[in-house]
Amino acid sequence: MAPRIVEIRKNVLKKNDLLARELRARFAGAGVLVVNLVSSPGAGKTLMLERTLRALGERGERAAVLVGDLETDNDARRLGATGAPVRQIETHGVCHLDARMVADRLDGWDLGAFDYLFIENVGNLVCPAAYDLGEQVRVALLSVTEGEDKPVKYPVMFQSADLALVTKIDLADACEFDRAAAYGNLRAVRADLRVIETSAKRAGGIDEWVVYLATKKGSVCV
Amino acid sequence: MAPRIVEIRKNVLKKNDLLARELRARFAGAGVLVVNLVSSPGAGKTLMLERTLRALGERGERAAVLVGDLETDNDARRLGATGAPVRQIETHGVCHLDARMVADRLDGWDLGAFDYLFIENVGNLVCPAAYDLGEQVRVALLSVTEGEDKPVKYPVMFQSADLALVTKIDLADACEFDRAAAYGNLRAVRADLRVIETSAKRAGGIDEWVVYLATKKGSVCV
């Protein structure tokens, strides 16, 4: 890339970081834990969120969702069916969410009324890694169907994550998923990365994930 | 995005298009069919290419590969084991290939010695859509594990493709793949899009795909 473009990109990211910092303070002040979910397209973010919203609802926790997509409000409609407040961000071709898009979609929401705010990012293992959304927890999903090598091929995403959710574990046998190789690759890019295996279809791992969220909420929010 | 950034992006894309046009003329002059493979991470581009290289080799066709990844040369090593000439492009964080990266990696190759040149793009359903690499054929892979809605959520990628390869069809039952919904969504973004179903693991659809390539080669190259 030419130096001028690099400079513009740095300015964009710096501006984003400043706004993300403001958002993070606002979220902490409201006592809401904000979780940014990132992954490839089709790794199972939406189904995982459906299960999570229902599990949190059963525990009397209040959760809301901002869901990002290039086009369509399919996911917002799916997630809205759980009864949780859900808003869609259509990026119209932009390959990631940024802090400005998030800030703009918070209007009129009383953040203090939520225990959790989930942000489902655009399905993309590259670009969302560079954009801080003011979240307290970043979760990278890796489905067993994608191949065990993804962490080393897309290292920034997994390096910047607080947790890896290995999804669709019910398909592990059908895909001949090599667990040891996948964990080796996750740990190669981030030695201390916490990993939880899940199956949203078979409700596997949801309890462990919800406990993880509760722990994070306890330790991060004021 | 601010107007200045939009302007820079337009200039980048215009410069890319000019170089891609030069590349396309060069490829046509050499009589090589160039195929750009795009998809989500883990949709099966590399395994599909392994099968394709072997199938073409058995037919006495000569094929080479440029393979793009953010990091690692894993795929080049996998594909090189077929005996085909393979070169890796490591983008080091850039989320797509561009015409300059392709042009720079052709040095010293006699393109006239190849019948086919495959370019395996970075796994990303968004950004590679905007970058013409001078290819004559763009192929978008959609794995049955990703969900049937991906074409409508990432429409530009499928609108700009000449062919959709539905991959991992052997997992269709395990994933409860809804074929009618997937085809409906593919046709919703591009009514005349040709679709071939494949299973690289079970060698399904490879013959149909190789015939498609041969037809394209016959109709496009000089």
**Token pair recorded at residue B179:** 């074929």
Distance CA B222, CA B218 (A): 8
Distance CA A121, CA A75 (A): 11
Q: For A165-194, what is the mean pLDDT?
A: 96
Query: What does pLDDT average to over chain B?
Result: 94
Token pair 């891609």: residue: B20
Asked whether the predicted pLDDT for residue A2 surpasses 70, the reply is no
Q: Residue B179's pLDDT band (boundaries 50, 70, 90)?
A: very high
Task: Return the HEC string of B54-109.
Answer: HHHHHCCCCEEEEEEECCCCHHHHHHHCCCCCEEEEECCCCCCCCHHHHHHCCCCC
Q: For A177-182, what is the mean pLDDT?
A: 98
Residue A10 has what pLDDT?
85
Q: Residue A220's pLDDT band (boundaries 50, 70, 90)?
A: low
B64: phi then psi, degrees, rounded to nearest 5: -130, 165
CB–CB of A162/A194 below 8 Å? yes
Summarised one tens digit per residue, pLDDT across range A11-43 is: 888 999 999 999 999 999 999 999 999 999 999
Find how far residue A15's CA is from the centre of its chain: 21
Asked whether the predicted pLDDT for residue B1 surpasses 70, the reply is no
Give the contacts of B159 (CB within 8 A, at least 6 positions apart): B189, B190
B-chain residues near A77 (CB < 8 A): none
Q: Which amino acid is at B1?
A: M
Distance CA A95, CA A131 (A): 11
Model pTM? 0.92
Question: Of A222 and B21, which is predicted with more confidence?
Answer: B21
Closest A-chain CA to B96: A126
Asked if B122 has any chain A CB less than 8 Å from its own CB, the reply is yes
Residue B5 has what pLDDT?
72
Summarised one tens digit per residue, pLDDT across range B135-165 is: 999 999 999 999 999 999 999 999 999 999 9
Asked whether the predicted pLDDT for residue B8 surpasses 90, the reply is no
Sign of CA dihedral A174, A176, A178, A182: negative
Distance CA B58, CA B51 (A): 11
Q: How far is B31 from chain A (nearest CA, A)?
A: 30
Asked if A147 has any chain B CB less than 8 Å from its own CB, the reply is yes
Range of the domain at A69: 2-220
Percent of chain A with pLDDT over 70: 97
Give the contacts of A127 (CB within 8 A, at least 6 positions apart): A95, A96, B95, B124, B126, B127
Summarised one tens digit per residue, pLDDT across range B76-106 is: 999 999 999 999 999 999 999 999 999 999 9
CB–CB of B105/B158 below 8 Å? no
Query: What does pLDDT average to over chain A?
Result: 94
Residue A15 has what pLDDT?
95
B-chain residues near A128 (CB < 8 A): none
Q: How far is B143 from chain A (nearest CA, A)?
A: 9
**Token pair recorded at residue A214:** 């509760």
Summarised one tens digit per residue, pLDDT across range B21-73 is: 999 999 999 999 999 999 999 999 999 999 999 999 999 999 999 999 999 99
Q: Out of A8, A143, A152, name the one closest to residue B72 (CB).
A: A152
DSSP letter string, A85-148: -EEEEE-TT-SS--HHHHHHTTTT--GGG-SEEEEE--S-SSGGGG---S-SEEEEEEETTS-T
Summarised one tens digit per residue, pLDDT across range B99-131 is: 999 999 999 999 999 999 999 999 999 999 999
Summarised one tens digit per residue, pLDDT across range A62-111 is: 999 999 999 999 999 999 999 999 999 999 999 999 999 999 999 999 99
**Angle of CA points A146, A152, A158, to nearest 5°:** 85
Q: B45: how many CB neighbours lie within 10 A of its CB?
A: 27
Of residues A130, A175, A180, A118, the one with CA closest to residue A155 = A130
Token pair 């462990």: residue: A208
Q: Out of B5, B12, B156, name the one closest to residue A93 (CB).
A: B156
Asked if B146 has any chain A CB less than 8 Å from its own CB, the reply is yes
DSSP letter string, A34-91: EEEEE-STTSSHHHHHHHHHHHHHHTT--EEEEEEESS-SHHHHHHHTTTS-EEEEE-
Q: Residue B10's pLDDT band (boundaries 50, 70, 90)?
A: confident
CB–CB of A198/A205 below 8 Å? yes
CB–CB of B32/B131 below 8 Å? no
| Domain total in chain A | 1
Residue A127 to residue B125, Cβ atoms within 8 A: no
Residue B143 to residue A42, Cβ atoms within 8 A: yes
Residue B146 to residue A171, Cβ atoms within 8 A: no
Chain B stretch 42-71, residues whose beta carbon is closer than 8 A to a beta carbon of chain A: 42, 69-71
DSSP code at position A194: E
Output the domain CATH number for residue B49: 3.40.50.300
CB–CB of A193/A161 below 8 Å? yes
Q: Residue B203's pLDDT band (boundaries 50, 70, 90)?
A: confident
CB–CB of B142/B39 below 8 Å? yes
Residue A127 has what pLDDT?
95
Q: B150: how many CB neighbours lie within 10 A of its CB?
A: 24
Q: How many CB pairs under 8 A join A and B?
A: 118
Residue A153 to residue B8, Cβ atoms within 8 A: no
